[in-house]
Structure 1
Amino acid sequence: MRRFIKFWSILPICIMINSLVLYAQNGQYSPDYLNTTLTTEQRVDDLVSRMSLKEKLRQLFSAAPAIPRLQVPAYNYWNECLHGVARAGKATVFPQAIGLAASFDQEMIYKVGTAISDEGRAKHHHFVRNDVRSIYTGLTYWSPNINIFRDPRWGRGQETYGEDPFLTGLLATQFVKGLQGDDPDHLKAVATIKHFAVHSGPEFSRHSDNFYTNNIDLYNTYLPAFGTVVKDANVQSVMCAYNRFRDQPCCGSYYLLEEILRKQMGFTGYVVSDCGAISDFYKEGTHQVVDQPSQALGWSLSAGTDLNCEESKQFMEDHIEEAVAKGIISESDIDRSVKRLFTARFKLGLFDTEDQQKYAQNPHEVVGSKRHQQINLEASQNALVLMKNNGILPLDPSQKIALIGPNADNIDVLFGNYNGLPIAPSTPLIGLKKAFGENQISFSKGSALTADKYGHYDVVPAEVLFHKTKRGKLKAGLKATYFNPKKAEQSFTQVDRQINFTWEKTPLNQQIQEQFSVKWEGILIPQRSGQYRFGGNVETKIKGKKIHSIVDLKKGEQYEISISYQTKPAWYKNSICPQAEWTWVQTDFDYQKEAIAIAKKAEVIVFCGGISPRLEGEEGKEMDIDLEGFYKGDRTSIDLPQVQQQLFDELYQLNKPIIYVNFSGSAIAFTEINQKAEAVIQAFYPGERTGDALANLLLGKYQPQGRLPVTFYQNLDQMPAMNDYSMQERTYRYFSGKPLYRFGAGLDFSTTELSKLELPAKLTAGENLKGTFYVKNTGNEPLTKKYQVYFSSENAPDRSIKKLVQIVKVELKGKHTQEIAFEISTDNMGIYDADLQKKINEGKASIEIFDGKQQLVGQFEIVGSCAVSTMKPTR
């Protein structure tokens, strides 16, 4: 009894001590969800239990509002970092994903991912310290895109790691690990693999498309990379796709999101919809599988989509609380999704003080640092694929070079889509002038990219811009008036020499994010008569009329101009660090004549052609293109635009050696150029160090490592219809024709010899395959080489020709022969059949070793058959 009395006598003291522990630094009561000694699950459960139904519902949208009474800050989940922190001001711009894939290098991809998350962390905390919590400021990145690039016409294929599921899974795993960090309890960032699943164009019909694939293609092509990244990188987020799959919207597919993603693959994070995908459930002209927004939201939540990327207004106005009461939306589904979302935010440290966050101390100076730029240069060099070299490369640095082509000084091709603002962009013109010397390089734009699309708009120069004083005299520069649109009043005026601004802090109040507008007025006096097209992101008026098309301007004549700009946040552009740019191009100038003239005086021609991310990319406002060869972000032809082919043919008639450099996010069928050029380089979109990397390759300052992550076809006749999702005759694994260049192709400057591939004569099904081959480095210098290992089986369940199963990276000594051992797991050799058994079938099989040019092939026999694994049968 005494012990019982003593216990009750000290209980108030225990409660008081416990309560004191839970007080925050400001002296106010701190609930369990702010107690860092508790587990993440305990903290999340406590927070969600305190939220009202309406508060929970509003957290299910990408722009999640603050809950002041619970000390929950606003958070916007939408951020991008496909190849560098995007749309949030300056950041290191690495090669576009397809260029990163050309490296075939896991270690480099990890370094790139780590550098990006370093910069992302630094930028996020910089924004939070300045109370900026808008789109593109968070730590939840909707990258990488790991869809399979099955058709070169798909404009967003540039965002992927190419056409091979094994390579895609391998590289994406390292990218995700670099983003998310190596702390088992805390996340550096959240990576999101997308778009789940069976998604790779066409762009223009993605909101209504309904795709079917058989189980063999589904499990051997469209799903493996997702499974690899879930298993090997513990990725924390997955984005579901716009299209339907087997009649159900992907973001409402219980089969995809629950049975496959969570049960079969073991995914434990949250699922986010592609932006507007839930509205596609009911909007006219899209899937239209339900009538109301509340029905769409209820369906998506029940299927496993936790976060809706779009505005909450239309959903909240659709009697959503009533829909919960009627069971159209399940409150248990809401709770499940809200908990998944807050689990990520807690793991990111967003409810901890800054001193408690492991990654919060990254200084802002890490953005664009020398170390990151060095990694970027390495990545850019590895993105360049030397496809042909008749001995012209490396170039003699004393040679006179004619640098020609619409991409020779086109900053767009440095980036690809989903990009940030570069720290120090280097176009081919900039890079070659720096490396060879100003006097060695002559330059001409040569032609348009195609039709009236140009790659060489120039900022309207200060030399042609004036304003009049009160006395009517002309003075240099335009009169600029800066406005605060909220107050509808003038803030200040000044004279600007030209319109080419990037404001890291707004001009009104030096804030990081603030709405403003500018009006420039003055006189334009052209120095050359001609037809001009104006560009940039401003509105142009000449003599009071808006200019939408080509305008005739005369040399020396005065034109009254008014140029307007207003910050307009939009998902597809940089909304943190606004830019204003006024550009023009003269459309009737004879660029080809100029190119021929400079080429005649040169010893060698470097032709920078191809296309640009202004012609291929994501369907949307900036991709409303309908031209020969291009339609709304996709391509309808894989040929080089005719205007460039014509320019090349004219240059070829000069009998000067031509080095052709092709910029594109996808394969181009430049068959004729390939025959005539002395060297061919596929550049993809190689990042802000493009010019430096290209110059180093031309001069032979490094051994080219780039290899093609996609097949280059000879013509479109070799391809099935784009909306046919069967893998028959697609990618190197199933294509039976002769390509222009095969997957994995690429040259270097080394002299090595492959020999003596040794394999067992027989392999019992279920055993790993061990083999060796020999490489002789006949040169004096040590080398790093990557060897691709392919497996093929005459009884493959999917009838594939072969598949990549390993990449062996080797350090070779000079004047040395080295034995290289490899081992292929049964899992990598296994192939799914129609019954979803991953099998190895008995019969003849082979291994191919390929270094980009040379190949070795050896055969062996598989004895018996076995199932590596079995998936639950599907519908």
Structure 2
Amino acid sequence: MSTHQPLFRDPRAPVRERARDLLERLTPDERVAMLHQFAPAVERLGLAAFRTGQEALHGVAWAGPATVFPQAVGLGATWNDELVRRVGEAVGREARAMRARDPRVGLNIWSPTVNLLRHPLWGRNEEGYSEDPRLTAALATAYTRGLRGDDPVRWRTAPVLKHWLAHNSETERDTSSVSVRPRVLHEYELPAFRGPVAAGAVAGVMPAYNLVNGRPNHLSPLLAEQLRTWCDHDLVICSDAGAPGNLAGSQGYCGTHEEAVAAALRAGVDSFTDHGEDPAPTLARVRGALERGLLKQDDVDTAVLRLLAMRCALGEFDPEPPGGEDAGTAGTAGNTAGAAFDTPGHRALAREAAEQAVVLLKNDGLLPLAGGTRVAVVGLLADECKLDWYSGTLLRRSTPLDGLRERFGADRVTYAEGSDRVRLRCRDGWLSVPPSPPGPAGGEGGDGGTAAGTLDPALRRGRTDLPPLTVTAEPGAAAEFALADWGGGVLTLRAADGRCLSVAEDGLLRASAEQPGGWVVRETFELRPYRGGRLLWHRGTGRYVTAPADGARLARDREAGTTFTLETVERGTDAVADTARDADVVLVVAGNDPHIGGRETEDRTTLALPPQQDRLWRAARAANPRTALVLVSSYPYAVREADAALPALLWTAHGGQAAGQALAAVLTGDVPPGGRLPQTWYARDADLPGLLDYDIIGARTTYLYFGGTPLYPFGHGLSYTSFAYGPLTAGHDGGTLTARCAVTNTGHAAGDEVVQLYTRAVGVAGPELPRPRRALAAHRRIRLAPGQTAQVEFAVPLADALGCWDVAHGRWTVTPGTYGIDAGSSSTDLRTTAVVRVDGEPPRPRSVADLRAADYDEQHGTELVDLTRERGDAVATAGLGPGELVFHACDFRSRPTTVTVTAARAEPGEAEIALHLDDPGGDRLLASLTVPATGDRHAYTTVRAELPDPPTGVRGLLAVLHGPVRLARLGFGGPSSAESP
């Protein structure tokens, strides 16, 4: 019997050679089958089934109990790359250990999310690290390095970055298109992805649902033109769930599903996540595309080769080690060895991460709390340890109340939730909760994006074995519910036994859920006024509740809901005030439930704290001025009045399993507060751009461009001690910017300082273009004892620190001139400054022989759209008014006599493009060109006009677009390449 092993089984051979050998052994049909998320086993080759996609944003998710770390935005608040790397390592080790017990746990990790926190109303704010691209890139690199492991060949897990590209809104997320101008693309969006990919720690990327410049992200030419040029290994592109079907479905971008899968494969998508665990529809579409000649076998093979190379790097095809995979040593010992689960080290790390994520926003001496302090802990989140959609199941939990009682003793810590205690009365009596029978929780399965979603009992919504609510005529048998208002009229109702009212698939209303949750949240309601009473509307189904004799349930079609009267037994503000009066210090713990009012599929509508929670801190302060507001939330709030009225405020993201212990340690000074805000906290809604306005330059948003006064600036965070900065020295050698300064703890307590290095253009050559007010170049978190001094040094590539995208010439450049280098504690608290000079050739004027319309310097009333279905950008008018494009420093020294525009107009009739010259005496009309109807948005025509008064010198050019039209190019001087889009 032969003992010869095929090449793909040889762990000593190069990964790509092994993958190529395996590819050649697969039949064409088997290769096509590999393209779906759920790739089948190939028994004749000994290949197991494989699934792409295991969520692990801050711990292994959707796979049962696991160590739960702080939310990603909380990890962002640590500003600690090394800590985040250790978290990634722990998550990777737990994924390996969990897979050894359950093969449904995947090693292709769909994490981290590197979308920038550009807009704080984004529902998925909790998933990102920061609004700054370089901080995001640094933390994502750290996390993926931990997930990947240090072995040069074998990967512990295979991380996939989410979501390519410019994805910051849940509103119509599969059909909305955003305009991303070249400067925003190259200076803001791409660096967040490029950092971790270039570091070699990323196995793949997932495109986003939305469209960018009119083209679906799953067809983005940037996958090939940018992403896959940043590293020297094969990147796997995994589609988002359902997105391939959207191309010919909700987006209508492709005429048929066969055309859609063909276009996606050619653009670079390798793995199709569609139709859940059923690969048949996707595979039929791929085969149909092959039969129609839309795809070649080479297109399929290229994608499958990448997938096989990833699986090979994970050690899947290696000979199994002694003891089996449960030994955690598949492949080489350096990387997949050490699979570990819920170790003391992981528990300590979860607490350390939660401690480092706490941000002290304001402190007028109230904190830290001294030993023996009598503390009142109040608020809707005071005794909660909330999870989000991408959390694992808690093995243990610590709420703020738990943490403070553990620290001070239960006899010195009092508590009031602050929810209103209410009863619901209808014509026939009061709603009542029948006694619960004994027995374990059952219930229906949750809505997971993959089969792994059904593994997690935390996502199983309630119990169907419980009796539904009934109506009783006896007032004494009426149920009291704790009503929590989460803002926007959205509320939850909790029964006396601690279970929330929930509606299961059978439509019955029960007190059955431990917490709100699930893909469709079945525990949220609204009380809507109706004929002097209230109708109870169930948000998850959009139906009203009715209460017949046989039990409360959802109203059926054309059936009226029951009218209720809301009777308040106790107001939460009264309970909070009573608890606050006798305490030395009051801590009001407010914030959000991550499953309600801001989450995946749902953006927020306001920065305001929900009214009920706003009333609670006011009631606490009125009863006891020594009140602090502790915000535990997935995103920023505008709490100007609280900031003005209260002596102390803190913020932390939902901190995972050790959240309460961590918060107590920081409040008491056992651990110094050192977290920093990873995004701007704006003072009011009016400071925000539109949710779909991604032009941070034009809209003047994020700390990079915002000219207003934020409530708390990017990088902000206070300490219980003080730090002094010595003089900053900075210089460069043409390739690297170096900066150094001494930082001293000048206070009486140990403390963490996050030293932040910023750069700004002081005086640079060339046209006056908007540059960031300042931009983060580097950061380092350090801990200093009282009186201790640390020398902090930074070395940053000069192009990264000072460069910008030269839109006129399509290149990254460092413009000659003077730059300020600042170091300090936040983007506005800068302690020491230096200046560096960069020499070089000044920027050349912009050539006008072939002007891409998308390369404008300023715009008004336009949007970027797809030039063709495959690649390129054009500019179209947006809205009813004319659109304007401004091009600075155009070189007209050749005195051109003609102008040519390349444009398209799908609508009937004509459009006009007027070209104006910026002369010293004012605007001068150069030409007005009429664009006829072309019948299709991608059908371009060329229109030419004479210039009777030729322009001269270096001037600004204004193009005004009247009527619906797409402008691709302009060319001066006669026929040019502008004739072809």
Question: TM-score, normalised to structure 1's length?
Answer: 0.79
Please list, as runs of the form range in 1=range in 2, the aligned pairs for 1:431-442 lying within 5 A after superposition. Answer: 431-442=403-414
Deviations 1:371-407 (A, max 9, x none): 1010111100111100111111111221221111111
Q: Structure 1 residue 740 and structure 2 residue 711: aligned?
A: yes
Contact 2:108 / 2:157 at 8 angstroms: preserved in 1? yes
Counterpart AA for 1:162: S
Partner in structure 2 of residue 717 of structure 1:
686
Partner in structure 1 of residue 3 of structure 2:
21
Q: Structure 1 residue 77 and structure 2 residue 59: aligned?
A: no
Counterpart AA for 2:390: Y
Match for residue 152 of structure 2 among 158, 173, 184: 184
Name the CA distance, whole Å, in 1 between partners of 2:776 and 2:441: 60
Match for residue 575 of structure 2 among 569, 572, 594: 594
Partner in structure 1 of residue 360 of structure 2:
386
Partner in structure 2 of residue 567 of structure 1:
none
Contact 1:530 / 1:586 at 8 angstroms: preserved in 2? no
Q: Structure 1 residue 205 and structure 2 residue 211: aligned?
A: no
Q: Structure 1 residue 614 and structure 2 residue 595: aligned?
A: yes
Once the two structures are TM-superposed, the CA of residue 617 in structure 1 deviates from its matched residue by 4.7
Contact 1:76 / 1:138 at 8 angstroms: preserved in 2? yes
Q: Structure 1 residue 247 and structure 2 residue 214: aligned?
A: yes
Name the CA distance, whole Å, in 2 between partners of 1:795 and 1:771: 20
Once the two structures are TM-superposed, the CA of residue 31 in structure 1 deviates from its matched residue by 4.1
Once the two structures are TM-superposed, the CA of residue 855 in structure 1 deviates from its matched residue by 2.4
Q: Assess, with a 3 A threshold, how the Cα gap between structure 1 residues 213 and 813 changes in structure 2: closer, same or farther.
A: same
Partner in structure 1 of residue 924 of structure 2:
none
Once the two structures are TM-superposed, the CA of residue 658 in structure 1 deviates from its matched residue by 0.8
Q: Assess, with a 3 A threshold, how the Cα gap between structure 1 residues 719 and 780 changes in structure 2: closer, same or farther.
A: closer
Match for residue 419 of structure 2 among 447, 451, 458: 447
Deviations 1:15-59 (A, max 9, x none): xxxx7232xxxxxxx544334454333332232223222222221
Structure with more helix by fraction:
1
Partner in structure 1 of residue 724 of structure 2:
753
Please, which runs of 5 or more residues in structure 2 have no aligned partner?
Answer: 322-329, 425-431, 446-452, 483-492, 494-499, 513-521, 528-533, 537-548, 555-565, 844-853, 856-871, 874-981
Q: Assess, with a 3 A threshold, how the Cα gap between structure 1 residues 321 and 140 changes in structure 2: closer, same or farther.
A: same
Match for residue 238 of structure 2 among 265, 272, 287: 272
Q: Secondary structure at the match of 1:411?
A: coil
Q: Secondary structure at the match of 1:182?
A: coil
Name the CA distance, whole Å, in 2 between partners of 1:515 and 1:651: 34
Deviations 1:648-668 (A, max 9, x none): 222222243111111221111
Name the CA distance, whole Å, in 1 between partners of 2:510 and 2:704: 60
Deviations 1:279-327 (A, max 9, x none): 11111xx211113222111110011010111135563575643431321
Q: Structure 1 residue 295 and structure 2 residue 259: aligned?
A: yes
Higher alpha-carbon deviation: 179-188 or 846-855: 846-855
Match for residue 674 of structure 2 among 682, 705, 725: 705
Q: Structure 1 residue 235 and structure 2 residue 202: aligned?
A: yes
Q: Structure 1 residue 465 and structure 2 residue 440: aligned?
A: no
Name the CA distance, whole Å, in 2 between partners of 1:109 and 1:280: 35
Match for residue 344 of structure 2 among 345, 370, 384: 370
Once the two structures are TM-superposed, the CA of residue 430 in structure 1 deviates from its matched residue by 1.3
Once the two structures are TM-superposed, the CA of residue 174 in structure 1 deviates from its matched residue by 0.8
Contact 2:754 / 2:781 at 8 angstroms: preserved in 1? yes
Question: TM-score, normalised to structure 2's length?
Answer: 0.71
Q: Assess, with a 3 A threshold, how the Cα gap between structure 1 residues 799 and 586 changes in structure 2: closer, same or farther.
A: farther
Q: Structure 1 residue 858 and structure 2 residue 829: aligned?
A: no
Counterpart AA for 2:2: L
Partner in structure 1 of residue 966 of structure 2:
none
Partner in structure 1 of residue 616 of structure 2:
647
Once the two structures are TM-superposed, the CA of residue 543 in structure 1 deviates from its matched residue by 11
Contact 1:98 / 1:160 at 8 angstroms: preserved in 2? yes
Q: Assess, with a 3 A threshold, how the Cα gap between structure 1 residues 648 and 758 changes in structure 2: closer, same or farther.
A: same
Q: Assess, with a 3 A threshold, how the Cα gap between structure 1 residues 70 and 409 changes in structure 2: closer, same or farther.
A: same
Residue identity (%): 28
Name the CA distance, whole Å, in 1 between partners of 2:523 and 2:751: 56
Q: Structure 1 residue 662 and structure 2 residue 636: aligned?
A: no
Name the CA distance, whole Å, in 2 between partners of 1:440 and 1:563: 44
Name the CA distance, whole Å, in 2 between partners of 1:804 and 1:587: 51
Once the two structures are TM-superposed, the CA of residue 216 in structure 1 deviates from its matched residue by 0.6
Partner in structure 2 of residue 163 of structure 1:
131
Contact 2:359 / 2:673 at 8 angstroms: preserved in 1? yes
Counterpart AA for 1:756: P
Counterpart AA for 2:378: I
Q: Secondary structure at the match of 1:233?
A: coil
Q: Secondary structure at the match of 1:667?
A: coil
Deviations 1:565-614 (A, max 9, x none): xxxxxxxxxxxxxxxxxxxx998642221111111222211000122212
Contact 2:73 / 2:653 at 8 angstroms: preserved in 1? yes
Higher alpha-carbon deviation: 518-527 or 823-832: 518-527
Higher relative contact order structure (alpha carbons within 8 Å, sequence separation ≥ 6): 1
Q: Structure 1 residue 788 and structure 2 residue 756: aligned?
A: yes
Higher alpha-carbon deviation: 726-735 or 108-117: 726-735
Contact 1:402 / 1:599 at 8 angstroms: preserved in 2? yes
Higher alpha-carbon deviation: 372-381 or 427-436: 427-436
Q: Secondary structure at the match of 2:744?
A: strand
Once the two structures are TM-superposed, the CA of residue 246 in structure 1 deviates from its matched residue by 2.1
Q: Assess, with a 3 A threshold, how the Cα gap between structure 1 residues 200 and 420 changes in structure 2: closer, same or farther.
A: same
Q: Assess, with a 3 A threshold, how the Cα gap between structure 1 residues 387 and 221 changes in structure 2: closer, same or farther.
A: same
Name the CA distance, whole Å, in 2 between partners of 1:740 and 1:377: 28
Contact 1:142 / 1:191 at 8 angstroms: preserved in 2? yes
- Counting matched residue pairs gives 751
Higher alpha-carbon deviation: 388-397 or 539-548: 539-548
Q: Assess, with a 3 A threshold, how the Cα gap between structure 1 residues 151 and 838 changes in structure 2: closer, same or farther.
A: same
Q: Assess, with a 3 A threshold, how the Cα gap between structure 1 residues 243 and 267 changes in structure 2: closer, same or farther.
A: farther
Once the two structures are TM-superposed, the CA of residue 850 in structure 1 deviates from its matched residue by 1.3
Q: Secondary structure at the match of 1:431?
A: helix
Name the CA distance, whole Å, in 1 between partners of 2:836 and 2:120: 35
Contact 2:7 / 2:13 at 8 angstroms: preserved in 1? yes
Q: Assess, with a 3 A threshold, how the Cα gap between structure 1 residues 431 and 215 changes in structure 2: closer, same or farther.
A: same
Name the CA distance, whole Å, in 1 between partners of 2:213 and 2:645: 47
Name the CA distance, whole Å, in 2 between partners of 1:233 and 1:528: 62
Q: Assess, with a 3 A threshold, how the Cα gap between structure 1 residues 810 and 187 changes in structure 2: closer, same or farther.
A: same
Counterpart AA for 1:196: W
Q: Secondary structure at the match of 1:788?
A: strand
Q: Secondary structure at the match of 2:726?
A: strand
Counterpart AA for 2:805: Y
Please list, as runs of the form range in 1=range in 2, the aligned pairs for 1:250-329 lying within 5 A after superposition. Answer: 250-253=217-220, 255-263=221-229, 268-283=234-249, 286-311=250-275, 313=279, 315-316=281-282, 318=284, 320-329=286-295
Root-mean-square deviation (Å): 3.7
Please, which runs of 5 or more residues in structure 1 have no aligned partner?
Answer: 1-18, 23-29, 453-459, 467-476, 486-501, 507-511, 554-558, 565-584, 621-632
Partner in structure 2 of residue 628 of structure 1:
none
Name the CA distance, whole Å, in 1 between partners of 2:213 and 2:743: 48
Q: Assess, with a 3 A threshold, how the Cα gap between structure 1 residues 548 and 420 changes in structure 2: closer, same or farther.
A: closer
Q: Assess, with a 3 A threshold, how the Cα gap between structure 1 residues 505 and 703 changes in structure 2: closer, same or farther.
A: closer
